[in-house]
């Protein structure tokens, strides 16, 4: 997942010492070691591994480096991504999503029986409306991402036998409960829907 470019000299004969498979194996090994360091050490310094790779590369030009002597595509952005995953509090995210879900439930007309649903970490708030396409368009015009489940059904589903499927396909809309939405954001969505 970290990525890199390998230099291979096409003009040399392949010998055991410079075999592409050996290079790929070495490349993979180094990145596995780096990944372990990332996970175990809070203040891991990428320069140490890059220095080691630079020494290895000095023998046969095995790896490519950028102007800052970083292993190509191994920017410090990856450190930031991994550090973010270290501090993510998934419980807090679930609580925020549940809070947003319940805010919709308490302020929008709906018939959800919460005793029948697991709302520990909801994906979205399902709402039944008269014309889901129109409501979705209205929300999207306001910059609010929402989506429709089963928006288009197979032709075989038309008819009286599938009246519930057809009803859901034209009336369901899923509202966002993302953890980055504030209570005022949810209130804005509720106001748009109640207008």
Q: Do 51 and 71 lie in a common domain?
A: yes
By the 8 A CB rule, do 194 and 108 touch?
yes
By the 8 A CB rule, do 121 and 98 touch?
yes
Helix H segments across the chain? 20-40, 46-60, 77-87, 90-107, 132-141, 163-171, 183-194
Q: Do 96 and 187 lie in a common domain?
A: yes
Domain, as residue range, for 104? 90-194
Q: Do 129 and 68 lie in a common domain?
A: no
Residue 7 covered by a domain: no
Q: Report the CATH number that the domain containing residue 99 is assigned in CATH.
A: 3.90.1150.10
Number of domains in the chain: 2
Residue 116 covered by a domain: yes
Given a cut of 80, whether residue 161 has pLDDT beyond it is no
Q: How confident is the model at residue 57 (pLDDT cuts 50, 70, 90)?
A: low
* pLDDT computed for residue 24 by the predictor: 62
Residue 11 covered by a domain: no
Residue 147 covered by a domain: yes
Least confident among 31-35, 37-41, 139-143, 154-158: 154-158
Given a cut of 80, whether residue 48 has pLDDT beyond it is no
Q: Span 176-186, mean pLDDT? A: 92
Q: Do 116 and 189 lie in a common domain?
A: yes
The pTM for the full model equals: 0.53
By the 8 A CB rule, do 175 and 149 touch?
no
């Amino acid at each position: 997942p970290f990525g890199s470019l390998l230099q291979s000299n096409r003009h040399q004969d392949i010998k055991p010492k410079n075999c592409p498979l050996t290079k790929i194996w070495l490349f993979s090994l180094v990145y596995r070691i780096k990944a372990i360091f990332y996970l175990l050490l809070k203040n891991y310094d990428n320069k140490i591994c890059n220095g080691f790779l630079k020494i290895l590369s000095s023998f046969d030009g095995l790896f490519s480096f950028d102007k800052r002597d970083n292993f190509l595509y191994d920017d410090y952005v990856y450190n930031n991504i991994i550090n973010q995953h270290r501090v993510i509090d998934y419980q807090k995210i679930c609580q925020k999503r549940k809070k947003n879900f319940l805010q919709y439930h308490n302020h929008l007309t709906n018939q959800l029986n919460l005793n029948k649903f697991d709302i520990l970490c909801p994906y979205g708030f399902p709402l039944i409306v008269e014309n889901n396409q129109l409501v979705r368009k209205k929300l999207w015009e306001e910059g609010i991402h929402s989506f429709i489940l089963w928006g288009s059904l197979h032709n075989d589903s038309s008819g009286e036998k599938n009246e519930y499927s057809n009803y859901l396909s034209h009336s369901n809309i899923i509202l966002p409960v993302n953890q980055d939405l504030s209570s005022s954001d949810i209130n804005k969505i509720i106001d748009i829907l109640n207008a």
